[in-house]
Amino acid sequence: MVFIEEKHSYLSSLSDQPKQKALFALVSDETLTTQPNEVSETDAIYYSSIQAIKKNAKADFNTQYTKISKRKVSENSAAPFVHDDFLIFTLVIGVLKFDCDKDWLLGVIRNRAKGKTTTTFENLLTGNYQSKANNQSLVLAFLFLLDKSKISNDQLNEAYNAMSDTKESFNNDFIRIVYYRAFDIIIQFKLPRDTDEVSRLLEFESRFKKRINVFSIVAYNLFIVGVLYGAYKVLQLLPEDKKLVVNDLSLIIGLGAIIGLSGNFIPKLKTKFQKLILRAFGYQNTK
pLDDT surpassing 80 at residue 180: yes
133 close to 114: Cβ distance less than 8 angstroms: no
Give the per-residue pLDDT at 210: 75
Mean pLDDT for all residues in the chain: 79
Going from N- to C-terminal start, the domains of the chain cover: 2-196, 197-280
Band of the pLDDT at 172, cuts 50, 70, 90? Answer: confident
What is the pLDDT, as a whole number, of residue 114? 87
Q: What residues contact 131, with CB distance under 8 A and at least 6 apart?
A: 119, 123
Q: Rank 90-94, 173-177, 254-258, 279-283 by mean pLDDT and report only the highest.
A: 90-94
b/e 162-187 (16+ beta carbons within 10 angstroms → b): bbeeeeebeeebbbbbbbbbbbbbbe
Distance CA 118, CA 105 (A): 12
Side chain identity, residue 95: V
Per-residue pLDDT for 272 more than 70?
A: yes
233: left (phi over 0), alpha (psi -120 to 50) or beta: alpha
pLDDT at position 99: 94
Per-residue pLDDT tens over the stretch 195-207: 455 456 556 666 7
pLDDT in tens, 22-62: 999 999 878 877 677 788 999 999 999 999 999 999 999 99
Residue 193 · residue 153 · CB < 8 Å:
yes
Helix (H) or strand (E) holding 217: helix 173-237
In this structure, are residues 262 and 269 in contact, taking their beta carbons and an 8 Å threshold? yes
Q: pLDDT, tens digit, for every residue of 98-141?
A: 999 999 999 999 999 889 999 999 999 999 998 989 999 999 99
Q: Report yes or no: 73 and 107 within 8 Å, Cβ to Cβ.
A: yes
**Percentage of residues in the chain having pLDDT higher than 90:** 35
- Dihedral over Cα of 172, 186, 102, 32: its sign: negative
